[in-house]
Structure 1
Amino acid sequence: MKIGELARRSGLSAATIRFYESKGLITAVSRKSNGYREYPLEAVAVLNIIANAQQTGFTLDEIRQVMPGNLSHWKHEELVGMLKKKVADIEAMELKLAQGKSQLQNMIHLIESKPEDMDCDDNADRILRNMGILNFD
């Protein structure tokens, strides 16, 4: 199939497909006498795998490391190891995001709980002291 058909079937632009090809993520394709690229039907599946892997946080280099030239020849141990590492990376990111969210919620609470008779400068000092940023004592 030509690149336009592959783009239509995969939902990716022709430029993206050419980019993936230039990065070695899809195997070399045959060219017709007019110079048009000819892609095998399995290229649609390969492009879907690449797009899904990117959406889950894999870099193109990581994808290239485990992507087989032939879809029936996966590097099982490398693939499982990389998937487990990505899960651990996501869990670490989730923890960091949860901590950041908690800090922001705490700051919101501190700001919104400003005593009526306190001006903004004193409230800022109160918040910074509460957060442990200012310690003049």
Structure 2
Amino acid sequence: MRIGELAKISGLAASRIRFYEASGLIQSVERKSNGYRDYAPGTEAVLEIIKGAQAAGFSLEEIRQLMPRSAGGWQHDELLSGLKHKVEEIEVLQQRLAQNKAQLLNVIKGIEGKPEGMACAENAQMLINRLREEGGAPASSTRKSARRAPRA
């Protein structure tokens, strides 16, 4: 299968396919006498795996480590370990995002509930102090917040 056909089927640009080939993610192909690349029929499936893995948050290096090293097939234990590790990373990220969301919602609530007559800068400083007391903002980010206080 030539690269144009593979690009059309996979939805990837030909340049991306060539990049994956140069990176060792897909098998190098022989060039025909006319210079065209001729990809094996299984290449489309490998590209789908790569696209899915990237969508799940795997880096190209992580994908490279998990892909079969030969036609012999997948390394069961390595694959399972890599997948479990990625799930753990996602869970940590989800926790961090939930904390960030809760903190942002508290800031929004503080801005929307600004006492009448209080200046925006004073309200912002009050919110920053509250975040510090609650331990919700590291010192470095509160310094940035103090410089760029939220408009309330």
TM-score (norm. length: structure 2):
0.82
1:3 is aligned to 2:3: yes
Letter in 2 for 1:64: R
Distance in 2 of aligned mates of 1:47 and 1:22: 14
Aligned to 1:57: 57
Q: What does 1:91-110 correspond to in 2, within 5 Å? A: 91-110=91-110
Distance in 1 of aligned mates of 2:19 and 2:108: 44
Indicate the SS of the match to 2:35.
coil
Letter in 2 for 1:27: Q
Aligned to 1:15: 15
What displacement does 1:103 show? Answer: 0.5
Aligned to 1:73: 73
1:41 is aligned to 2:35: no
Structure 1 consecutive aligned stretches of length 4 or more whose deviation exceeds 3 Å: none
Letter in 1 for 2:62: E
**CA distances 1:6-47 after superposition (whole Å, capped 9, x unpaired):** 101111010000000000000111211111110011000000
**CA distances 1:64-100 after superposition (whole Å, capped 9, x unpaired):** 1121133x61111000000000000000000000000
The root-mean-square deviation of aligned C-alpha atoms, in Å, is 1.5
Distance in 1 of aligned mates of 2:105 and 2:41: 50
Q: Structure 2: any 5+ residue segments left out of the alignment?
A: 134-141, 143-152
Letter in 2 for 1:132: R
Distance in 2 of aligned mates of 1:64 and 1:89: 18
Distance in 2 of aligned mates of 1:26 and 1:120: 56
Alpha-carbon distance change, 121 to 65 in structure 1, aligned in 2, over 3 angstroms: closer
What displacement does 1:122 show? Answer: 2.5
How many residues are aligned here? 133
Distance in 1 of aligned mates of 2:35 and 2:88: 45
What displacement does 1:117 show? Answer: 2.7
Indicate the SS of the match to 2:132.
coil
Distance in 1 of aligned mates of 2:132 and 2:62: 40
Aligned to 1:83: 83
